[in-house]
Amino acid sequence: MGKKKAHHEEHIDETWLIPYADMLTLLLALFIVMFAMSEVDKTKMITLAQQFNVIFAGGAGIVEQGGKSVISPIQTPEGTSSEGQKPVIDSKAAEDAEMQNIQAALEAEMQKTGYSDTIKIGLTKEGLDISIEAAILFEPGSANVLKGVNPPLLKICGALNRFDNEIVVMGFTDNVPVSSNQFRSNWDLSAMRAINVMNFMVKSGKLKEDKMSVRAFGEFKPKYDNSTVTGRAKNRRVEIFVARKFTQ
């Protein structure tokens, strides 16, 4: 009796599953990336990237205050930021995020130290403006910076050290004529006050002098009513203005 021929079962070719699985994996990855891009806040992502760069360089960290992330600069013993740790700001969004963080950090600091009524920080489409009432900076009729104001001024310098922007220090007075042999007019007084604050920011605050300039307005740019004692006190001020590099 003859032997039966062995019967070999035919196997289905399944090699097509490998490229099919690869295609599904690529599609899944694509959908995940598209979803992530739709959910990420670009400004926050830029800010986060900046902070990682600074953290790894030994610079500032991020502190949560009131639900917002603000920059907490590391200070040297003199109160200024460490050298060479300025973040790279190469877009309007990055610059605006940095200025918002600086504003929030300084406002929190002034609130904590009791200067929130006399030091105001504002952010406009032109730049960051820090207004300081003259009463905490100078004696009446004087342009010499008081030593007692060093801590808040150094905190401001430490924050502004993160910028490579142009900084203008501006002096203002009220409309009461100056009664001093040292100054011929309110022009002179406002100019010397701005110069002395600028010198403090360069020498003690370690800001770059080639980025600094001064302007004097005397009594001619009041923000408040000069007919009241309170208004005149607020008009006597020095403003530190950080100009934007990128226009809004």
The confidence score (pLDDT) of residue 8 equals 53
Mean pLDDT over 221-226 rounds to 93
Q: From residue 95, how far is each of 11, 46, 243 by CA, in Å?
A: 64, 10, 11
Q: How far apart are CA 236 and CA 172, in angstroms?
A: 5
pTM of the predicted structure, to 2 decimals: 0.66
Whether pLDDT at 22 is above 80: no
Whether pLDDT at 160 is above 90: yes
Tell me which residue of 153, 155, 104 sits closest to 128, measured CA to CA. 104
The confidence score (pLDDT) of residue 148 equals 87
* Mean pLDDT of the residues in the chain: 79
Whether pLDDT at 216 is above 50: yes
What tokens were used for 231? 């208004």
Cβ partners under 8 Å of residue 57, min gap 6: 84, 85
Give the pLDDT confidence of 24-60 residue by residue, as tens digits: 887 877 777 676 666 555 555 555 454 444 434 334 4
Whether pLDDT at 107 is above 60: yes
Tell me which residue of 84, 209, 70, 79 sits closest to 155, measured CA to CA. 79
The confidence score (pLDDT) of residue 59 equals 40
Domains of the chain: 21-243 (3.30.1330.60)
Mean pLDDT over 2-13 rounds to 55
Mean pLDDT over 88-108 rounds to 87
Q: Which residue has the higher pLDDT, 5 or 215?
A: 215
Please list the helix, strand and coil fractions of the chain in percent, rounded to the nearest 5, in that order: 40, 15, 40
